[in-house]
Amino acid sequence: MSITLGTIALSVISTIWFFTYRTYFVLSQEINPVGEILRRTA
């Protein structure tokens, strides 16, 4: 049970980080061309 909960927790944390970085690239696309490229690729 501990392994399952640990896996779920890790998945949640990874998802939060993913959306955090995605949002950062979207907000910074105007001043960061690389962010625009990464946003289109993702």
Per-residue pLDDT reduced to its tens digit, 10-35:
999 999 999 998 888 777 766 666 66
Whole-angstrom distance, CA of residue 21 vs CA of residue 37: 14
- Going 19 to 21 to 27 to 29, the CA torsion angle's sign is negative
pTM passes above 0.85: no
Query: What single letter denotes the amino acid at residue 22?
Result: R
**Counted domains in the chain:** 1
Q: Are 22 and 40 in contact (CB under 8 A)?
A: no
The pLDDT of 2-15, averaged and rounded, is 91
Domain span including residue 21: 2-41
Rg (CA), the chain: 14
